[in-house]
């Protein structure tokens, strides 16, 4: 490995950014460089090489009109970005990288030798297109050029300051496009299901590296002291999780929240210095896919609904299948006491199936009991 490549890769690994990389048709040497330098597990979350038509179709959820194209590379980087959001460590910057190439092969090609490489971050989509001069290089040499470009775009997205020689000739100067997204556009993409979540990190930076997220979901209309106290108590029980609130912009049986309403609710967390995630999944079994390995904080009333076959069409077997699938993602629940039909109940009052009991941990009543009604608070505040 050339010295400058090692230096760039070391800087990428030290950047605290994490990436999912999808490559098809080239740039294979970039993977070797990234994975052979110590520290790769901190910056590379996943690599997929969807070479076959069926693999690419499954990755993107559709069959591309053209496999080597700007649209396909951007679709790949968006899919990789959404995957990175789900897999990334708490509090870290994430990116998706998509590469689609048509390089020299064992048989002559009628079309251009070319590649597209795209990076997607929360607020930016950047794509480069390079058409290589036919006959100038063999396959290995074209792969090396494309690998330089993949390394360059990852370094740029990580804000790594480096000069990377790309070995292109004068006619091969890349065509580049950049699309920036403001906050409203980012939130609209979440509402539309294009992007799975937007994370607001409002808490002070901490030195500790958390293993997972500790999530208190809700509507938070308004956010009140009971919510804050519940997350605080849960954090003392589950001290390996980064505390976060979560609001779903999409409701199961109501219209989606407006962008203005989401921003109004987010402001409550900003002024208190608390992390909040805006997602597009109202159901817990979908949240488990979105936040694998996370611990969710719920009330006893929600826990009772989770294990009630009534909410699964009366099918007990279906309930167990869904919750065991959640369990397979590493999902757990911390259950706080709540009033149910006028009686204060905790986890121990609920009938949890044996196969699921180790998913649930009780928050003792002596540690947390706050009888605050969001409905009454809204009335008193004229909301």
CB 137 within 8 A of CB 26: no
Instruction: Output the pLDDT for position 34.
Output: 98
For the cut 80, the answer to whether the pLDDT of residue 65 exceeds it is yes
CA dihedral (76, 56, 284, 242) in degrees, to 10, reads: -40
Instruction: Output the pLDDT for position 89.
Output: 83
Instruction: Output the pLDDT for position 170.
Output: 76
The SS3 assignment for 337 reads coil
Instruction: Output the pLDDT for position 151.
Output: 95
What superfamily in CATH does domain 3-180 come from? CinA-like (3.90.950.20)
What distances in angstroms separate CA 16 from CA 22, 152, 158, 382, one per listed residue? 20, 17, 8, 44
Task: Dump pLDDT digits (tens) for 270-285.
Answer: 999 999 999 999 999 9
CATH 3.40.50.620 boundaries in the chain: 184-381
Task: Dump pLDDT digits (tens) for 218-239.
Answer: 999 999 999 999 999 999 999 9
Distance separating alpha carbons of residues 98 and 88, to the nearest angstrom: 17
Instruction: Output the pLDDT for position 289.
Output: 95
Q: Which two tokens stand for residue 212?
A: 């997972």
CB 112 within 8 A of CB 131: yes
For the cut 90, the answer to whether the pLDDT of residue 157 exceeds it is yes
Sheet-wide strand order for 93-102? 44-48, 17-24, 93-102, 113-121, 124-132, 175-180
Arithmetic mean of pLDDT, 11-25: 96
Specify the fold of 184-381. Answer: Rossmann fold (3.40.50)
For the cut 70, the answer to whether the pLDDT of residue 33 exceeds it is yes
Distance separating alpha carbons of residues 272 and 231, to the nearest angstrom: 13
What predicted TM-score, i.e. pTM, was given to this entire model? 0.92
DSSP 59-124: HHTS--S-SSSHHHHHHHHHHHHHHHHHHSPTT-EEEEEEEEEE---SS--SS-EEEEEEEEETTE
For the cut 70, the answer to whether the pLDDT of residue 378 exceeds it is no
Distance separating alpha carbons of residues 326 and 366, to the nearest angstrom: 29
CATH 3.90.950.20 boundaries in the chain: 3-180
Distance separating alpha carbons of residues 58 and 48, to the nearest angstrom: 12
Task: Dump pLDDT digits (tens) for 285-316.
Answer: 999 999 999 999 999 999 999 999 999 999 99
Distance separating alpha carbons of residues 101 and 143, to the nearest angstrom: 9
Nearest Cα residue to 146 out of 102, 94, 176: 102
């Amino acid at each position: 490995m050339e010295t400058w490549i090692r230096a760039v890769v070391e800087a990428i690994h030290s950047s605290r950014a994490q990436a999912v990389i999808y490559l098809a048709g080239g740039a294979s040497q970039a993977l070797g460089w990234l994975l052979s330098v110590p520290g790769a597990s901190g910056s590379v979350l996943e690599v997929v090489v969807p070479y076959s038509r069926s693999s690419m179709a499954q990755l993107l959820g559709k069959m591309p009109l053209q496999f080597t194209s700007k649209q396909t590379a951007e679709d790949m980087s968006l899919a990789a970005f959404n995957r990175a959001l789900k897999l990334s460590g708490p509090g870290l910057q994430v990116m998706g990288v998509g590469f689609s190439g048509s390089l020299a092969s064992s048989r002559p090609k009628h079309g251009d030798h070319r590649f597209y490489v795209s990076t997607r971050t929360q607020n930016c989509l950047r794509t480069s297109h390079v058409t290589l001069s036919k006959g100038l290089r063999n396959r290995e040499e074209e792969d090396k050029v494309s690998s330089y470009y993949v390394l360059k775009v990852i370094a740029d997205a990580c804000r790594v300051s480096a000069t990377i020689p790309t070995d292109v000739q004068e006619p091969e100067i890349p065509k580049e496009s950049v699309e920036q997204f403001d906050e409203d556009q980012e939130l609209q993409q979440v509402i539309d299901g294009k992007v799975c979540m937007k994370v607001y990190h409002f808490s002070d930076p901490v030195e500790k590296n958390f293993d997972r997220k500790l999530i208190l979901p809700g509507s938070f209309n308004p956010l009140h002291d009971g919510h804050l106290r519940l997350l605080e108590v849960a954090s003392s029980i589950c001290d390996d999780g980064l505390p976060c609130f979560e609001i779903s912009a999409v409701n199961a049986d109501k219209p989606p929240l407006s962008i203005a309403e989401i921003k109004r609710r987010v402001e409550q967390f900003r002024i208190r210095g608390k992390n909040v995630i805006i997602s597009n999944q109202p159901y817990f079994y979908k949240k488990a896919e979105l936040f694998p390995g996370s611990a969710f904080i719920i009330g006893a009333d929600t826990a009772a609904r989770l294990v009630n076959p009534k909410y699964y069409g009366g099918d007990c077997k279906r309930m167990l299948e869904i919750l065991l699938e959640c369990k397979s993602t590493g999902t757990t629940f911390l259950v706080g006491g709540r009033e149910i039909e006028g009686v204060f109940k905790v986890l121990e009052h609920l009938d949890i199936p044996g196969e699921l009991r180790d998913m649930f941990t009780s928050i003792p009543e002596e540690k947390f009991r706050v009888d605050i009604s969001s409905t009454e608070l809204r009335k008193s505040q004229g909301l």
